[in-house]
Structure 1
Amino acid sequence: MSERPADLLEFAWIWNRLANLGTPAVHRRMLRWLADRGEQGDLRLLLMAFRGCGKSTLVGLYCAWQLYRAPETRILVVAADHALATRMVATVRRILGRHPLCGALLPDHGEGSWASDRFTVARQAVLRDASMLAAGIGGNITGARADLIVCDDVEVAGNCGTPYQREELRERLTETEFVLVPGGRMLFVGTPHTADSLYVDGPGAFLSGYRRLVLPLLDDAGDSAWPERFTPAGIAALRTRVGPLAFRRQMLLEAVAEDAARLDPGLILRYAAETEYREANGRGVLTLMGAQMVSGGGWWDPAYGRPGTGDASVLAATYADGQGRHYLHRIAYLLHDPEAEEDAATQQCRAVAHIARDLLLPVLRVETNGIGKFLPGLLKREMQRAGINCTVLEATSRRAKSERILAALDPVLAARRLLAHESVFRTRFAREMAEWRPDAPGQRDDALDAVAGCLLSEPVRLPGAPPLRPATLSWRGASG
C-alpha cells in the first residue's frame, strides 16, 4: 500500500478506470458524503437514492475501501433475503480480488474463508468473525460481531405490505443492535416501498437521528440527477411503465400512501367491438378493432357463497396486443343455483369453461388461495367434456391484495393503455374502481382482484398449446 492511503473517491476512480467506467456526478456526491460522514465520526447513516443509480455498487466500493484502510474491520451485510446480501458480499470480494490497491488483503492459498457469502482478508488480528458476512433479514446473526453493518434494501415490496409485516421487519432489524460493537457504524441503504416506510423522518421514526443523504431522480427544478443515463424521454417512459405511485416512491423517494393513487374508471378507453378469428397460411389470427392480439387469458377468483352474499366469484378475461395495450374483454360474476342437483363448484366450472370457449382463451388461471384448491382439476374435467383445449393453471397470490391491484392497474391507467369492452361497464367493475381505497374494510374488490391477476400475468406468452378448439389454430403468433 502507498504511504498515503487513497481516499474513497480516489479508490473508486481507480476501480472505475480498471472497469472502463466513468464516475458521474451523482456517484461522486454519494462517495463524498460517505467519506465526509466517516471523517465527522457519524455512526448512524441513511443513504436514500433512486432505483438504478448504482448505490449498492458504490456501497460495495465503500466496504472494500474500509477493509483497505483497516483490514481488521468486520462488516455484516443484511438484506431482505440471503441471496441479495450475498450479491453485495460477492461484489466486494470481486473488487478486492482485482483492485490494484488491495493485493495485500488477499489471503494465502488455502488460508481463511473466501466464499461468496463470507470471506476473510489477510489481517494481523486473530478474530472469530469473518471480514465480511452476508445475512438475510430472517437469518440467525446471534453471536456475530461487526464494526460496520450495512442494511442494504432490507425493505422490499414483499415484507412491508401489512402492518404486521412492517412491525416484524422492525423487530428483526433491532437484532442488529446487539451485533454492532460499541463505536461501530450502521448504514442503511434503500428506497421507500410504503407510506409507513422504515426510512420516513420525524419524531419517533425508526431511523430517527440518522444522518441522511436523499437523492431523488429529479430535483426541485425537474432536472435529472443523472442526465447521461436518465434522459427526459427515458424518465417519461419509466413513469408510464411503473405508474405514478411506484415512480414517486422508488424514483422520487416519497413515502406516499396508497391513498394517493386513485383508480379512475374514466381513464379506461371503451370499445364495443368483438374479436375476429381467421386462419391464414396455417396460422390462427385473432384481431380486435384491427389490432392483432398476441397474448391473453383469464383469471378466476372463485367463491361459493350463496348468490348475493359474501365474496363474489369473478372471472376476468383480457387480451394484449403487440403495442402494450391491454383489452379487458369480459368480466363475469358467476352464480349458481342452490336448488340444482349439481354442486356449486361444478356449476361454476361449467360456466367458466363455456366462457373460455366463446372467447378463445388460450389459458385460464384459477386462484387457489383458500377454497379454490381442488377447482383446477374439476375445471380441466369440464374443459375436456366440452372439447375445449384451454390450459388451466393454478395461481397463488402471495402479495397483499391492495398491493396487487395497484401494481397491476396504476401503470396501465396512467399510460391510458387499458381498454375495456362496453359490457364490462354494465357490471360492478367501474363502481368498484371508483370506490376502492387500499385496505378499506368490507369493500367490494373481487373484480379488481381478478383483473389484477390477468394483468400481472402478462406479458408472458405460453408455449405451444393444443388447438383452442377442433376448427381453430393457435392465434398467439409463431411462439404460441
Structure 2
Amino acid sequence: MTEQAVDPLKQDFRNFLYLVWRHLNLPTPTPVQYDIARFLQHGPKRRIVEAFRGIGKSWITAAYVLWLLYCNPEERILVVSASKGRADAFSVFVKRLIAEMPLLQHLKPREGQRDSIVAFDVGPSSAHQAPSVRSVGITGQLTGGRATHIIADDVEVPNNALTQTMRDKLAEAVKEFDAVLVPGGVITYLGTPQTEMSLYNVLPERGYVVRVWPARFPNAALRARYGDRLAPFVARKLDKDPTLADQCSGRGAAVEPSRFHDLDLLERSASYGRTGFAMQFMLDTSFSDQDKYPLKLSDLMVLNLSMDIAPVKLAWASGPDQMLKDLQSVGLQGDRWYRPLFVSKDFVEYQGCVLSIDPSGRGGDETSYAVVAMLNGFLYLLSAGGFKGGYEDATLQSLADVAKKFRVKHVTVEPNFGDGMFTKLLTPFLTRTYPCTTEEVRSSGQKERRIIDVLEPVMNQHRLVVDEALVERDMENYNEYPHEKFHQYQLFYQMSRITRERGALAKDDRIDALAMAVAYWVEQMDKDTQKVLDDHKEEMLRLELEKFSQHVLGYAPPSDNWGDGWA
C-alpha cells in the first residue's frame, strides 16, 4: 500500500485543514469552510471560489498551498493579488506556518535555497529555476517563471475595477496566467465581486467553473440566477428544506449561522448598503440589469464650465465623436461620458446659481454640497463634494467659501437633525463671508425614489451639464477614505448605482445634495412655465375681447386700457 493511500492528511485536505486550524487556535472549520476545502482538492483545473466576505477564503487557500507542498514538494506555486503587499502577506502567512507547525518542519528552506518573502523554496524540493512559492501583484512581472498552481487571491478590488478602462486592463492582465502555467496546471481564483461587471462574470467564458457560497440561503429567483454556480452544499440544504429561503422575515436563513447569524448580517447589510451587500455577501451581480439603474452618465453633457457664463444653446448626442475616451467613467457597462454635439458661440451670464447642503447625520456620513446654475432651461453642475465634518467651524467656513467662490444667490439646507441647528450655525459664517438668502428644505418620502424622481426627467432630457474638472475631481480620494470604500463617496458612483430600492447605496449624501439643487431649479422652472401659460391665456382672452368689442361696439379700446371696466 502506498504512502499516499495510508496518510489521511494526504488523502483528504480537510484533515490537513483541521490541524492547521488547531495550530492557529481557531474553532473547528465550519461546514462551509470544509466544503470550500473539498472544492479546492477535487474541483476542475480552472475554478473560481466566490464566497462571502469573512468566511476565510484566503486562509483556507494558504492551508491548501501548504497541503500541496506537503503532498508534493516539487509543486511550483504562484500567488497573485491586486497588490504586491497583499500577495506578499499571503506568502508570509505560509512561511510562518512552515516555521511554526511541527508537521511542516521538513519544508523549511535549506541552506543555499531561496528564502525570501517574495520567493522561497521548500527543503525537499529539487533545484529549479522557479521557486516553490512566489508572490507578485497583478501589475508586476508575472512571466519569468513556471507554475504548477496559480492562486489569484482577490485580484479584483475597487481600485482596479471601478472604471471600464480599469476592468479592461485587469481582464488582459490575467491572460498572462496561461503563459506561466505548465501543461496540466491549475488556476484558482478567490474573491468576491467588486463591481456589477466583475471579472468573475467574464472568466466562465474562458472555461472557468464558478462555485458560489452566499451568506444567506437564496430565494427561488436568486437561485435561478445562480444556476449551476450555486455550491451543491447550499443547494442540497435548500432542496431538503425549502423554508430556509423564507426564514428571517423573508431574508433567508444564514448559511453559516455559527459565525454569521441573522443580526450580524443585518448590520453588515446596513453598513454596505443593499447593492454592496448583494455583491459582497450574496455574490449576486445579476442586478446590473440596466433598467434597475435609471440614472445614466451618458445622459449628461460634459463641458469645461465657467463660473459666470454659459452657452446660449447646447445639443446632446452620444456618437463616437462626442465620446470622451480619456475621461474615466465609474458607470455601468458601456456607460460613458459625452461632450455636446453643438455649443453655441454666444455666451451669457447664468440666470441664477444655488448651493444645496446636506448636513452629515452620523457615522461615516459626509456634509455634502452641490452648486448648480441655470440658464435657458439647462442646469450646470459647477461643483460638488463633501466634508468629513458636520457642525465644525472648519466645515461651516468651507461651505461659506464655496458660496462666495461661485457667487450663489440662494442656499438651501436640509434640516436633517437638530431642528434647524445646522442652518443657525451656518448663517453667521455666511453673513461674514458672503451674505445670501438661506432656506431650509424638508424632504419626505423614501430617499432613493425622491432622488430618482427629481434627477431622472432632467437627465433623460439631457438638461444637466457637468463641469469636466468636477468629473476628474470626483475620482480623487481627497478625504482619504479606506481604498476599499472611497468609491462609495463619489458623486457619479452614487448616481450610476442608485436604484428605487430602500438602502440601495451605502452612502448617498452627495447625490442627495445634487437632487436638492436640481429640485430647486425644477420648481423655479415650473413656476416660470406656469407664468408663461398664464400670460398666454391672458393674451388670448384679450384678443377675444377685442374681437367681441369690434363686432358689437364697432371699435376696440386701446390694448393698454382693457380690463379697466371699459366694457
* TM-score interval (norm. to shorter): 0.5 to 0.7
TM-score, scaled to structure 2 = 0.53
Cα separation, partners in 2 of 1:88 and 1:370, compared to 1, 3 Å: same
Partner of residue 24, structure 1 = 30
Cα separation, partners in 2 of 1:10 and 1:176, compared to 1, 3 Å: same
Partner of residue 349, structure 1 = 405
1:114 shift after superposition: 2.6
Partner of residue 7, structure 2 = 4
Find out whether 1:249 has 2:247 as its counterpart: no
Distance (whole Å) between structure 1 residues aligned to residue 507 and residue 180 of structure 2: 49
> What is the DSSP-based 3-state SS (H/G/I as helix, E as strand, rest coil) of the residue aligned with 1:199?
helix
Partner of residue 192, structure 1 = 193
CA RMSD of aligned residues (A): 4.5
CA contact (8 A) 1:303 1:371 kept: no
Distance (whole Å) between structure 1 residues aligned to residue 261 and residue 291 of structure 2: 26
Distance (whole Å) between structure 2 residues aligned to residue 410 and residue 89 of structure 1: 44
Find out whether 1:358 has 2:361 as its counterpart: no
Distance (whole Å) between structure 2 residues aligned to residue 372 and residue 348 of structure 1: 22
Cα separation, partners in 2 of 1:372 and 1:259, compared to 1, 3 Å: closer
Find out whether 1:80 has 2:85 as its counterpart: no
Distance (whole Å) between structure 2 residues aligned to residue 252 and residue 430 of structure 1: 38
Higher helix share: 2
TM-score, scaled to structure 1 = 0.62
Alpha-carbon deviations, 1:319-378, whole Å to 9, x = none? 3345777776x6443689xxxxxxxx99952748x98963759xxxxxx9848999xxxx
Between 1 and 2, higher relative CO (CA 8 Å, sep ≥ 6) is seen in 1
Larger Rg: 2
> What is the DSSP-based 3-state SS (H/G/I as helix, E as strand, rest coil) of the residue aligned with 1:428?
helix
Distance (whole Å) between structure 1 residues aligned to residue 144 and residue 113 of structure 2: 20
Partner of residue 171, structure 2 = 170
Find out whether 1:161 has 2:162 as its counterpart: yes
Partner of residue 112, structure 1 = 113
Partner of residue 126, structure 2 = 125
Partner of residue 60, structure 1 = 62
Distance (whole Å) between structure 1 residues aligned to residue 166 and residue 472 of structure 2: 25
> What is the DSSP-based 3-state SS (H/G/I as helix, E as strand, rest coil) of the residue aligned with 1:333?
strand
Partner of residue 71, structure 1 = 73
Partner of residue 207, structure 2 = 209
Give the partner amino acid of 1:133. R
CA contact (8 A) 1:50 1:191 kept: yes
Alpha-carbon deviations, 1:225-269, whole Å to 9, x = none? 2112211111112111111111111111112317475589xxxxx
Question: Identity over aligned residues, as a percent?
Answer: 26
Partner of residue 224, structure 1 = 254
Distance (whole Å) between structure 2 residues aligned to residue 145 and residue 371 of structure 1: 46
Partner of residue 269, structure 1 = none
Cα separation, partners in 2 of 1:429 and 1:135, compared to 1, 3 Å: farther
Give the partner amino acid of 1:117. V
1:100 shift after superposition: 2.7
Give the partner amino acid of 1:168. K
> What is the DSSP-based 3-state SS (H/G/I as helix, E as strand, rest coil) of the residue aligned with 1:90?
helix
Distance (whole Å) between structure 2 residues aligned to residue 249 and residue 263 of structure 1: 19
Distance (whole Å) between structure 2 residues aligned to residue 67 and residue 402 of structure 1: 47
Distance (whole Å) between structure 2 residues aligned to residue 227 and residue 135 of structure 1: 35
CA contact (8 A) 1:155 1:192 kept: yes
Give the partner amino acid of 2:517. T
Distance (whole Å) between structure 1 residues aligned to residue 77 and residue 268 of structure 2: 35
Higher strand share: 1
1:164 shift after superposition: 2.2
How many residue pairs were aligned? Answer: 356
CA contact (8 A) 2:374 2:521 kept: no
CA contact (8 A) 2:62 2:90 kept: yes
1:27 shift after superposition: 0.5
Partner of residue 33, structure 1 = 39
Cα separation, partners in 2 of 1:418 and 1:142, compared to 1, 3 Å: closer
Give the partner amino acid of 2:359. Y
Cα separation, partners in 2 of 1:123 and 1:168, compared to 1, 3 Å: same
CA contact (8 A) 1:63 1:75 kept: yes
Distance (whole Å) between structure 2 residues aligned to residue 82 and residue 183 of structure 1: 26
1:129 shift after superposition: 1.2
Alpha-carbon deviations, 1:259-311, whole Å to 9, x = none? 475589xxxxxxxxxxxxxxxxxxxxxxxxxxxxxxxxxxxxx9525545589
1:168 shift after superposition: 1.3
1:427 shift after superposition: 2.8
> What is the DSSP-based 3-state SS (H/G/I as helix, E as strand, rest coil) of the residue aligned with 1:135?
strand
Cα separation, partners in 2 of 1:324 and 1:83, compared to 1, 3 Å: closer
CA contact (8 A) 2:356 2:370 kept: yes
Question: Which structure 1 residue ranges, 5 or more long, are not aligned?
Answer: 265-301, 337-344, 362-367, 375-392, 433-480
CA contact (8 A) 2:357 2:513 kept: no
